[in-house]
Structure 1
Amino acid sequence: MFSKFTLALVGGVSTFAMPVINRAVDNTQPAGSNPGSLASGAEYLGPQKSNNSCVKRDLGFTGQISGKWYAVFGDTNYCAPGVTDSTSMLATAGGFYGMVRDSISAMTDNVLETHDLHLNSDTPVAYPLQFVPYNSSWGEDESTGFGGTSLCETNATADEGLIFYAVNENVAGIKGAGVAKVKVVNGVPTVIQRFGDSGYWWNASTTPRYGDVAAYRDEKSDYIYALGGAPNSAVGYAMSDYVYQARVKAKDAFNLSQYEYWQGRAAGWSSELPTHFDSTTAVMWNSGQGTIMWSPHYNCYFFVHTAPGGTDILIRTAPSPEGPWSNDVTVYTATVKEFGGMVYAGVSHPYLDPTGKTLTISYTNYPADTEAIRLTFN
C-alpha cells in the first residue's frame, strides 16, 4: 500500500506573533504523490432518497457526533401534500410545494437511503424543518441561506458538536461565516446556539469564509479544521479561488480567541487573522466544496471534491490537513441531467468501510439530485 510522501510537513507550530511571510512562495502548488490514482474502478450506485419524506436537495455533507453519522443538506425542496415520489417534482406543475434553506438527516448503512430529521406535522408526508434557524433580529428571514458543511464533534460525552455555515443574503451575497453549537436532543442533532453579534464571527468582506469549503474533525489530533473561500474583497479568477484555513481544538471550538489561522507552510499557524490573501497564505487553490477524511488504506488524508463548474469527482491527498496537497485525480465523471449541467459538493462516507479499501462518495447533480458512487482501491 502507498504510505510515503516525497514531502514532509513544514511548520505547524503555533505562534502568537504575526509571522513574516515570504511573498515569493506559492504554498498552493501541488506536491507529493496521489494514491487516489490507484482506484481500480468506480461503480455508480444511484440516486440518494429519503425513507420518510419526499424531497429534492443538494450538498449532504457528512459528519458524526458520538459515533452516529449525519448529513447536512442545503436548499431542501419538498413536494406538495400527498405527493410521495420526488423524481419529477421540479419538472411537474404543482409538484414543488416549498423549501427550507438547509436540513439534516441521519445516515443509514445504505448510502442511497437517508432518514430525515426535524420533520413537521404534515400528513400523509412530513417535511424537514430548517436546521440552522434564522434570526429576525439580525435581519434574517426564511430566504436567508445557510451554507453549512460537515458536523464536527466537540464533546462526545455531552453529545455535542458544531456546524460552520455561511450566511448568504442571496442578491446581497455572503455576509459572513459563522459557527453554531449542536447538541443531540432526544436522538436528534439540534442547533442550540449561534455565535457572533450578527450570527457570524468572520465578516466575508475582509475575512475568508472559514468552513464553507470543508469542515473536518481530525481523527489524528484534537483539532477541528475549517477551510473557507476568499473574502469578498478578493476579486479576479485567480485571487477569488484561493482557499484558506483555520483550526481550533475541539474543546475550545466555541471560543473565538482560541482559533488559529494558517499563514503558509513556512510561517505555520498564528492566532492573528491573515490580512494578505494570495498563494502565500492559502492552503490550496481551485477546489470545489468537499470533505476531508483520513484514509487508513493509504495512511494519508483525502480531500474529496468536485471540479468547479465541471462533471468530475476528484481526490487530492496530503500527509496532514495543512498539506502540501497533491494534484487532483479524477475518480469518476458524472452524467449530467441537462445540457450545461454540472456536479458539485463531493461527500465522502468513510463509515461504510472502515478499512478504506472502498470509498463511497455522494455528490449533487445539478439542480437538486444527490447521487452516489463506490470506489475500490488496489
Structure 2
Amino acid sequence: MVRDSVSAMTSDPLVVHDLNLNNDKPVPHQLQLVPFNSAWGETNVYGFGGTSLCETDAVSATAALFYLVNANDAGLKGAGVAKVQVINGTPTVTQRYGDNGWWWNSTDTPRYGDVCAYRDVNSEYIYAYGGAPTSITDWGQSAYVYLVRVKASEAFDLSKYQYWWGLQQGWKSTVLTSFTSETAVWWGTGQGQIVYSPYYQCYILVNMGNGGSDVKLRTAPAPEGPWTADVKVYTATPIDGGLTYAGVAHPYLDPTGRTLVVSWTNNNNIEVIRISFSK
C-alpha cells in the first residue's frame, strides 16, 4: 500500500507528471516517498502526512520534508524531518532523522510541519506549523497551531531549531511546553500552505478551515503573525459526502501575485480554482 507519493507540477495546474514509478505492467504505479522502516515498527499501513518540501540547498538540489507519522489504530507517533535529494530527476528521501524516524513526540509536543511548512523568501528561515499535542483533548484548545523555525542551512540539526513562545517571549531554543492562545500563532485551520504575496506585500495562508468545505485565506506581515481572521473565497461541494482538505497554493503560476491558483483534495479528487486579487 502506498500512503504518500510525489509528482511534479506543470504550467497547467490540471496536469501533473507522476514520479518515482515502479515496473508494473501495463501501467506503472508510484512508489512510497517516505520509506517505511520495520526496525522502528512501521508497516505499509502507516501514514506519513507530508505537507511541504522546503529547499535547503539549491546547488545540491536538497530539501527538508516535514511529515507526521500516523500508526492509524495506534495513533499519531510524532512529527519528523527527512532529507530529500533529487536522484535521477526524482525527489527521493535519502535520510529520516530521529531515533524512531521523528523528532517531536505527538503526545507532548506540537506536530510541527503537519499543518504546513514554509521556506521564507524574505529570510534564511524555514517555518513549520503544527497542531497541538494529542494529550490536549479539549476541542477548542486542540485547535491551536504552534510554530518552530530553523535556518534552511541547519534544517537537519534539531539543536538549531527555535520555538515560538508568543509575542511576549518571542523565539527560544527551549522546546515549547506551554500550549495556550498566547504561545499559539493561530487557531482553527487544517492543513494548508503559506505563500508571500508580492502584490499585497504580506504573507497569505491558504487553508480549508478546521472542517467544512470553504477555501479560506488569512494574512500576516510576518510568518509568526499576527494573523488576520479568515476570508472565505470559495465553497467546494464534497463528492459523495467525502472530505475536503489540504489547500495548496501554486504561486509560481503568477509571479506578480495578482492571481493565485489553489488546489485541494475532495474525496480523493484534486480540484483547482484561480483567485483574482484587487486593491
TM-score by length of 1: 0.73
Distance 1:239 1:176 in 2: 19
Name the amino acid aligned to 1:360.
V
Displacement after TM superposition at 1:307 (Å): 1.9
Match of residue 353 from structure 1? 254
Displacement after TM superposition at 1:269 (Å): 0.3
1:312 paired with 2:214, answer yes
Match of residue 45 from structure 2? 143
1:330-351 per-residue CA deviation (whole Å, 9 max, x = no partner) reads 0111122124x44111100000
Unaligned runs of 5+ in 1: 1-98
Match of residue 323 from structure 1? 225
1:162 paired with 2:64, answer yes
Distance 2:209 2:42 in 1: 31
1:227-283 per-residue CA deviation (whole Å, 9 max, x = no partner) reads 001001111111110100000000000000000000001211000011111111111
Distance 1:369 1:124 in 2: 23
Distance 2:276 2:177 in 1: 42
Match of residue 11 from structure 1? none
SS of the residue corresponding to residue 52 of structure 2 reads coil
Match of residue 276 from structure 2? 376
Match of residue 192 from structure 1? 94
Match of residue 36 from structure 2? 134
Runs of 4+, deviation exceeding 2 Å: none
TM-score by length of 2: 0.98
SS of the residue corresponding to residue 28 of structure 2 reads coil
Match of residue 133 from structure 2? 231
Distance 1:345 1:167 in 2: 17
Displacement after TM superposition at 1:107 (Å): 0.6
Q: How does 1:335-346 map to 2 (within 5 A)?
A: 335-339=237-241, 341-346=242-247
Distance 2:211 2:141 in 1: 17
Distance 2:244 2:45 in 1: 24
1:290 paired with 2:199, answer no
Distance 2:64 2:73 in 1: 27
Displacement after TM superposition at 1:124 (Å): 1.6
1:257 paired with 2:178, answer no
Match of residue 210 from structure 1? 112
Q: Taking structure 1 as reference, are residues 117 and 242 closer, same or farther at Cα in structure 2, changes over 3 Å only? A: same
1:28-79 per-residue CA deviation (whole Å, 9 max, x = no partner) reads xxxxxxxxxxxxxxxxxxxxxxxxxxxxxxxxxxxxxxxxxxxxxxxxxxxx
Match of residue 119 from structure 1? 21
Distance 1:337 1:259 in 2: 40
Name the amino acid aligned to 1:335.
T
Name the amino acid aligned to 1:225.
Y
Distance 2:265 2:47 in 1: 17
Larger relative contact order (CA 8 Å, sep ≥ 6)? 1
1:172 paired with 2:74, answer yes
SS of the residue corresponding to residue 240 of structure 2 reads coil
Match of residue 67 from structure 1? none
SS of the residue corresponding to residue 159 of structure 2 reads helix
Distance 1:214 1:235 in 2: 21
Name the amino acid aligned to 2:187.
W
Match of residue 176 from structure 2? 274
* Number of residue-to-residue matches in the alignment: 278
Distance 1:158 1:164 in 2: 19
SS of the residue corresponding to residue 151 of structure 1 reads strand
Name the amino acid aligned to 2:250.
H
Unaligned runs of 5+ in 2: none
Question: What is the percentage of aligned positions where both structures have the same residue?
Answer: 59
Larger Rg: 1
